[in-house]
């Protein structure tokens, strides 16, 4: 019998933005999630350059606070900001929005997508907390409810979940073409999505929760978007 030749399936290349540190847990965990889901992760930072023409989808990762000047917030010495990263990721988000590139924002990344779209942030949510512990943690202890009929609910296959929490800022007013689809017990925004395109923003860190099927499904969804253009 002759040898059967099967065409090689091209794995999508997913850009992942973040800090420049060699040991960056969010980068390594996101890269692992993408590889397990069948994609090739491509690191983006002030030290790791990529070309958006060769990127099939984009993940904007978590990290330092966004410079308040981008959303008319109050500047103070307590804010830990990364000027180079801010500008780099703002440029990438703008390009992704123009090209309708599938896009996920994680924690800071969700906030950045919102700011680029004209939205604003709460600079410190600790005084708003009544029913949810504000201490940072990687374990899924915070309760979140997702809007019925939303894209995110379809991705997760549930409307009620528990997630981790590493943030002290949050989305206040949503930007253009974005809507809130997830809230915690204090009614603080935990998820947003686009009204038109394949864009979701999550206030939690799914890259640290890929052992949960609902969280791993987020990365699988992004890869499906690059193959089918829809979900």
Catalytically active residues, by annotation: 107, 205, 207
- The separation between CA 140 and the C-alpha centre of its own chain, rounded to angstroms, equals 17
User: Strand order in 137-146's β-sheet?
Assistant: 40-44, 13-17, 57-60, 103-106, 199-202, 189-194, 178-184, 137-146, 160-165
Angle of helix 83-99 relative to helix 108-116, nearest 10 degrees, comes to 60
DSSP string, 79-134: --B-HHHHHHHHHHHHHHHHHT--EEEETHHHHHHHHHTT--EES--GGG-SSS--
Widest CA span in the chain: 73
Q: Which among 212, 194, 193, 180 is positioned nearest to 33, based on CA atoms?
A: 212
Question: Distance between CA 178 and CA 218 in Å, rounded?
Answer: 18
């Amino acid at each position: 019998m002759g040898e059967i030749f099967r065409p090689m399936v091209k794995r999508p290349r997913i850009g992942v933005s973040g800090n420049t540190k060699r040991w960056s847990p969010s980068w390594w965990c996101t890269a692992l999630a993408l590889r397990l889901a069948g994609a090739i992760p491509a690191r983006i930072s002030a030290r790791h350059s990529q070309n958006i023409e060769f990127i099939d989808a984009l993940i904007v990762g978590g990290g330092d606070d966004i410079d308040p000047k981008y959303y008319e917030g109050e500047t103070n010495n307590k804010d830990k900001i990364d000027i180079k990263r801010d500008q780099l990721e703002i440029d990438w988000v703008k390009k992704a929005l123009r090209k309708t590139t599938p896009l996920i924002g994680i924690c800071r990344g969700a906030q950045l997508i919102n700011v680029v779209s004209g939205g604003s942030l709460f600079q410190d949510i600790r005084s708003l907390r009544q029913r949810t512990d504000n201490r940072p943690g990687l374990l899924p202890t915070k309760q979140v409810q997702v809007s019925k009929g939303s894209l995110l609910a379809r991705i997760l296959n549930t409307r009620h979940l528990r997630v981790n929490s590493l943030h002290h800022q949050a989305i206040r007013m949503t930007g253009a073409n974005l809507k809130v689809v997830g809230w915690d017990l204090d009614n603080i925004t935990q998820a947003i999505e686009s009204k038109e395109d394949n864009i979701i923003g999550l206030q939690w860190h799914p890259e640290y929760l890929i052992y949960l099927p609902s969280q791993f499904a987020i990365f699988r969804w992004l890869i499906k978007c690059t193959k089918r253009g829809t979900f």
